[in-house]
Amino acid sequence: MQPKLIIHGGAGSSLQGKGGVEAVRKLLYGILEEVYGLLKEGASASDAVVRGCQLLENEPRFNAGTGSVLQSDGQIRMSASLMDGHRQRFSGVINVARVKNPIDLALRLQAEDDRVLSDQGSAELLRELQLPIYNPLTDLRLNEWMEERKGNFHRTMAGVIAEPEAAPGRDPEAGRGTIGVVALDQDGHLAAGTSTGGKGFERIGRVSDSAMPAGNYANGQGAVSCTGIGEDIIEECLAARIVIRVTDGLSLQTAFEKSMQEAGANGRDLGAIGLDRTGVIAWGKTSEVLLGAYHSGDKLGDTLELEPGVQVGRLY
């Protein structure tokens, strides 16, 4: 089967003009090329997803891994999950700190009986694996937090991407930051991975959707990674809802359309990317911007300049 791949770098309401669009497109396409090369060489969907998440986590512009936003107490706590659709196995970590790639911990937990760990369990796993201590803080994210602290955190979330020109004075509702990867490999197996630094400035202990089946889900029929406001995604149970609809016989496009229409009617702010077992690529959003890009095997494309509002697309 011809492999397929789709990734995202978050959702929001602004890309700070054309320069932001082109910069993000270049980043996403570069990651697509590397990860799709692995799929062509025979890598499993799960391995491709992990590598894609690592690359996105390593890019400071995105809110995951390096470049993660700070919570209200000035600390970085990250969450990530991996779901192997072939085995229908979910693993993840919640509010982990001092690690470069949270997706690596989710991968390690695929082989464990206890496959979702909270902050304390994630810290213990870090010690067991003897991974080097890593500080994901960037100057841009620190400055963003310091500016908000001056105003006693009047904004409810941080920026979807980190750009120098997008620091103080930008759109106050621009943040919905998460990264995600969905892959179909040569054997027809699916996997999905999602990682985030949270929404920024949140209450200590807040848990995002990224380490839940609500935000990241896959089985043998479909796979979906979500982005947007975590509480909205959880309340729609969006990733699992789309995949279950596909499993029950709806096409991937119809499942996306129905789910996004419902989310839009409920006033949600979110986006999602997905694949089915036949290789159909789909995406949808209720937010203004979805930082998505895909590799069909024949061409690359993206969702960066979709019209605001509820939008659904697909590619065979």
Residue 151 tokens read as 């105003």
- As beta bridge partners, residue 225 has 216, 273
Give the model confidence (pLDDT) of 267-281 as tens digits.
999 999 999 999 999
CA angle 282, 180, 263 (to 5 degrees): 55
The mean per-residue pLDDT over the stretch 32-57 comes to 98
Tokens of 270: 């979110």
Q: What is the pTM of this model?
A: 0.93
Q: Residue 20: its pLDDT value, please?
A: 81
Q: Torsions phi, psi of 240, nearest 5?
A: -65, -35
Mean pLDDT of the region 258-266: 98
Q: Is the pLDDT of residue 33 over 90?
A: yes
List the one residue out of 65, 13, 298 whose CA is nearest residue 180: 65
Report the run of H or E that residue 150 belongs to, with start and end.
Answer: helix 139-150
Question: How many helices (H) does the chain have, and how many strands (E)?
Answer: 8, 13
What is the pairing mode between strands 116-117 and 89-96? Answer: parallel
pLDDT in tens, 107-146: 999 999 999 999 999 999 999 999 999 999 999 999 988 8
pLDDT band at 147 (very low <50, low <70, confident <90, very high): confident
- Read off φ and ψ for residue 181, nearest 5 degrees: -140, 135
Mean pLDDT, to the nearest integer, of 78-89? 98
Domain 4-315 grouped into CATH 3.40.50.300: no
List residues with catalytic annotation.
178
- Which amino acid is residue 257, in one-letter code? E
Is 174's pLDDT higher than 60?
no
